[in-house]
Structure 1
Amino acid sequence: MKTIEEIRQKLGEDADYLLDHTCEKIPKEKITVPGPGTPENFINSDRNTRVLGSISRLYDHGTLGNTGYLNILPIDQGIEHTAAISFYKNPDYFDPENIVKLAIEGGCNGVASTFGVLGLHARKYAHRIPFIVKINHNELLTYPNNYDQILYGNIKEAWNMGATAVGATIYFGSEESSRQIQEIANAFEEAHQLGMATILWCYARNSAFQTNEADYHTSADITGQANHLGVTIKADIIKQKLPETNFGFKNIKFGKFSDEMYESLTTDHPIDLCRLQVANCFMGKIGLINSGGGSQGESDLVEAVKTAVINKRAGGSGLIMGRKAFQRPLKEGVELLRSVQEVYLEKNITVA
């Protein structure tokens, strides 16, 4: 177990900036903070008892079991980014069984992947680690690429393989978003009827969101609104990219915004920006997990720990991290996953 001093060492010159910050715009007392009782947030909801059991199974499994935090391994890049570019650094992951093994060895709460990956080894592993079946994907073989999330199977298939949850992506802001919202809202309702939990990848996607000045796909205001739409269609967990900027609505000049809105809700501190994402998840009653991002090589471990600290201190519920873990040898991937988990286990790293 790493100590707070070791985590501070990894954060380097950012240690005080991240570990000593206090959120004043949306204070800690306003949000639902993750903890051992997190699944009880749904006790008064319309989720049936089997859904409550599935949510509890996710939160109770792995190294972070019964802490209120999640560390999920997602590997669907074989479709989303093409298999060769995703797995050439470690060809072992062309074999689906190694994906599940990494999640188990890494102490993850669950493994998220495709119908094909999880279905091939469901009898061997579905009872050993929660399966999260990703039901839709963007594929890059269509030329020119059209960037649309399409369904690859149905909810009953996921249920038949013993899945604990289903996951889906919506490209909010895209031309296809209206169809995707309706498809996934219906799919999530069916998943709930069958007793599975639901996780939504709430990604902003529109060429107008990227200007000469900034890329607002990771703007706190736009991603926060995507989260709010996600919890509206009853996602039990929201997956979102860590915010890197703000003022997307204002600078692109669309949607509804005011200067007072920005001044009252957040600052430019990364923990405050992430706190706005948490607020949009019904003030933390729906867990926010941030993505670990792509692999950059030697800096991956430091970046993963930094992301975990920001998410935890903002009131988030954990990380969902794939490429940083699987694009390296198994032992190193497990070490990286464990280092992230140690941030959430460290009692001296508190919600800001």
Structure 2
Amino acid sequence: MTPRVREILSWYGADNPGTLTNLARIMNHGRLAGTGKMVILPVDQGFEHGPARTFGMNPDGYDPAYHVQLAIESGCNAYAAPLGALEVVARDFAGEIPLILKINNSDTLYGDKRPISALTSYIDDALRLGCVGIGFTIYPGSGERKHMYEEIAEASRLAKQAGLVVVIWSYARGEQISKEGETAIDVISYAAHIAAQLGAHIIKVKPPSSHIEQPAAAKVYQEQGIKVATMADRIRHVVQACFAGKRIVIFSGGDSKTTDVLLKEVSELAQGGGFGSIMGRNAFQRPKAESIKLLQDVMDTFAGKK
């Protein structure tokens, strides 16, 4: 156990030993073990966007075993997926990598301006499959946010009682938020703070832009001189918004990008004090050897080796 991992665990003093053990398992696994940084491979995009859009670029990805092997071989801290995918791999790869069960999901077959995800699995499933934690998506700004906040409050309570880690995907969107506003610095930091207040151990948000969506927030940013000009500045502010950096905040890879663009962004995330990346499509849609190199380059960047 490194001093950095012990320090991070000390921020979660309300949690039981089981939860702290599972959080330590994530931080002590893979290429970034002991650094307090993490790279997680999430593969919930097939549910969210459809199989062809997700796996058509690399047909090996239709098999869930491909993804868990990719996570293991590249040295990821954990692998996250919905119920069905984990049921395919949990027995064959038991104990080889920490697993996170994504317990709510949505699809694109029905367009709705009030986004909400459905509960698709439960705490008992996470325990049965040997998972270290659960993942849950919320959409701050959605007209359905009340239901999502209440669902994660109950799921989080049960998960913590069972000694599991709670990971919240916090994606602001809804009728009153513009498309540009979904990644605005004030909105991203607000969404991250909401996830922290809902009890997340690990918070996942998108990298923020310098756009400020809310006029009331813009006034404060200007008056207080809050720096948002560079990505590193913005990441620093998002981390600050999560209890002055006392919650783990990791950033999504987002839409597909070239390797150079992606690694430049990761470098800025690291400079700003981000705890890591949760990178799906930008990794598994590439050929396997290329995916492994990319993920390891990302890990080395967070470790300060690049």
Indicate the TM-score class for this superposition, using the shorter chain for normalisation: over 0.9
Question: Aligned residue for 1:276?
Answer: 237
Which amino acid in 1 is paired with 2:228? T
Equivalenced residues, count: 303
**What is the aligned counterpart of 1:323 among 274, 281, 286?**
281
Question: Aligned residue for 2:197?
Answer: 232
Question: Aligned residue for 1:218?
Answer: 183
Q: Which moved more, 1:134-143 or 1:162-171?
A: 134-143
Q: Deviations over 1:110-157 (max 9, x none)?
A: 001111101222112231100011011111223678632111011111
Distance 1:202 1:168 in 2: 8
Distance 2:7 2:34 in 1: 9
Distance 1:144 1:201 in 2: 19
- SS of the aligned residue for 1:343 comes to helix
- SS of the aligned residue for 1:191 comes to helix
Larger radius of gyration: 1
Which runs of structure 2 are paired with 1:23-34 in the superposition (5 Å)? Answer: none
Distance 2:201 2:220 in 1: 31
Q: Deviations over 1:210-231 (max 9, x none)?
A: 26xxx01001111111111101
Q: Deviations over 1:288-328 (max 9, x none)?
A: 101111223xx2x2122122212211111001101111111
Q: Do 2:186 and 2:217's aligned partners in 1 also have CA atoms closer than 8 Å?
A: no
**What is the aligned counterpart of 1:130 among 87, 94, 98?**
98
* Structure 1 residue 265 corresponds to structure 2 residue 226: yes
Which amino acid in 2 is paired with 1:230? A
Q: Would the alpha carbon gap of residues 152 and 200 (structure 1) be closer, same or farther in structure 2, given more than 3 Å must change? A: same
Deviation for aligned residue 1:245: 2.4
Distance 1:60 1:71 in 2: 12
Which amino acid in 1 is paired with 2:8? P
Distance 1:95 1:188 in 2: 30
Question: Aligned residue for 1:288?
Answer: 249
Deviation for aligned residue 1:190: 0.6
Distance 2:51 2:264 in 1: 28
TM-align CA RMSD: 1.8
Q: Do 2:114 and 2:175's aligned partners in 1 also have CA atoms closer than 8 Å?
A: no
Distance 1:163 1:78 in 2: 20
- SS of the aligned residue for 1:208 comes to coil
Q: Deviations over 1:55-82 (max 9, x none)?
A: 0000000000000000000110101111
Q: Do 1:216 and 1:245's aligned partners in 2 also have CA atoms closer than 8 Å?
A: no
Distance 1:339 1:52 in 2: 28
- SS of the aligned residue for 1:37 comes to helix
- SS of the aligned residue for 2:109 comes to coil
**What is the aligned counterpart of 2:53 among 85, 88, 100?**
85
Question: Aligned residue for 2:172?
Answer: 204
Q: Would the alpha carbon gap of residues 173 and 319 (structure 1) be closer, same or farther in structure 2, given more than 3 Å must change? A: same
Which amino acid in 2 is paired with 1:306? K
% identical equivalent positions: 35
Q: Which moved more, 1:116-125 or 1:137-146?
A: 137-146
Q: Do 1:39 and 1:52's aligned partners in 2 also have CA atoms closer than 8 Å?
A: no
- SS of the aligned residue for 2:225 comes to helix
Deviation for aligned residue 1:158: 1.0
- SS of the aligned residue for 1:195 comes to coil
**What is the aligned counterpart of 1:242 among 184, 190, 207?**
207
Which amino acid in 2 is paired with 1:232? Q
- SS of the aligned residue for 2:68 comes to helix
Q: Do 1:221 and 1:276's aligned partners in 2 also have CA atoms closer than 8 Å?
A: no
Distance 1:337 1:258 in 2: 36
Q: Do 1:39 and 1:59's aligned partners in 2 also have CA atoms closer than 8 Å?
A: no
Distance 2:63 2:132 in 1: 22
Scaled by the length of structure 1, the TM-score of the pair is 0.82
